[in-house]
Amino acid sequence: MGASRVLGLDAARGLAVVAMVIAHGLPFVSGRISESAAFVLQQVNDLASPLFALVMGVAAGLVFRRSDAARGDARAVVKGLALILLGTLLEQLDHWVAVILHILGLLLILGTPLLRLAARWLLGLAAALFVAGPWVIRAATRAAGGVAGGQPPDAPWATNPLVQWVVLNPHYRVLTLLPVFLVGAVLARRGLRDERTAWWCALVGLGMVWASFAAELLGHPVRFSGDLPDQVQENGLALAAYGIVMVTGLARVGQRPLYAVLRQLALLGRVALSLYVGHVLLLVPLIAPFPEGGWAAMVILLSLSLGTAWGWARLIGQGPVEWALERIAPPRHAGAVLPA
């Protein structure tokens, strides 16, 4: 069963990074796809960041031991700082990607010490942040002279990177990713063999997605990134995707198509950070030759980035970014079996 555990988690991580690559290629084909295709691809875009945070929480929960919490904190700080450095460097390049690595790095640093708490406290904190997050974003934006979903804040302090990464970033922020990170840590404590928990994730997630669509029909659409309807939809997508992937992995349905796809996603999941960095670097020289966009640019981006990552994972194994993070982080404690 150990192989299934690794397969499910890696496949969920792989799905998250593939969703990010697809989302970042969408500007090439905007205006060239139907409304229904645009709707589906919007869900892919919305799935990516919360699923990555959820899987990060699961992985952190698997390796964190309260009896050796200081070591876990130290690893999180070193790896988090490395992600922050990498993310800020990628932001300096000429592309259209809203880079998330530095925000994930800060999420890892701030979220890992909370894993000392019991599961019920983690869930309570996640629920409190989930509900309070939109109010905090709205209040902070107003205090900085802006309007959430409208006029951007103009106060000097609002440009501070930490303020941006925690609360005011218009795309991702620690405040809204931390709840799903904590839920992931609780799922890790339930164990990755628990098929019942995986089914509950899928069902609750699908229910949240349908609730968000119903809310929009009833006149409560998403007004700004991080508001309650937005969180319900995005976190619902993440929970549903995670649950479906884990159920499929646990079922071990041989070579049937869905399981075969899962195995390929798992390969990409093992090099997810390297794939993320690589596809952003690929976009830099790819944008200029295609000023009008087009399917050729989209195909080049997907085939080169995903194909290279898949081949690397299959032939070599651990990705270069993952390898570097493991080398600079403090040694693992005995008994850890999965990458953080």
pLDDT tens digits for 202-234? Answer: 999 999 999 999 999 998 888 888 899 999 999
What are 129-163's pLDDT values in tens digits?
999 999 999 999 999 999 888 888 999 999 999 99
What mean pLDDT is predicted for residues 101-125? 97
Query: Within 13 Å of residue 229, how many CA atoms lie on the same side as its CB?
Result: 15
- pLDDT for res 3: 42
- The band of 193, judged by pLDDT with boundaries at 50, 70 and 90, is confident
What are 288-315's pLDDT values in tens digits?
999 888 999 999 999 999 999 999 999 9
Residue 253 has pLDDT above 70, yes or no: no
One-letter amino acid at 235 equals: N
CA 170 to chain centre: 16
- pLDDT for res 48: 95
State the Cα–Cα distance between residues 340 and 334, nearest whole angstrom: 14
pTM for this one?
A: 0.92
- The band of 332, judged by pLDDT with boundaries at 50, 70 and 90, is confident
State the Cα–Cα distance between residues 16 and 146, nearest whole angstrom: 32
What mean pLDDT is predicted for residues 17-46? 93
Of the listed ranges 106-120, 121-135, 141-155, 324-338, the least confidently predicted one is 324-338
**Helices (runs of H) and strands (runs of E) counted in the chain:** 13, 0
Report yes or no: 110 and 81 within 8 Å, Cβ to Cβ: no
What mean pLDDT is predicted for residues 67-80? 92
- pLDDT for res 220: 87
State the Cα–Cα distance between residues 60 and 62, nearest whole angstrom: 5
- pLDDT for res 250: 80
Domain residue ranges of the chain, discontinuous segments joined by +: 2-328
- The band of 6, judged by pLDDT with boundaries at 50, 70 and 90, is low
State the Cα–Cα distance between residues 218 and 276, nearest whole angstrom: 37
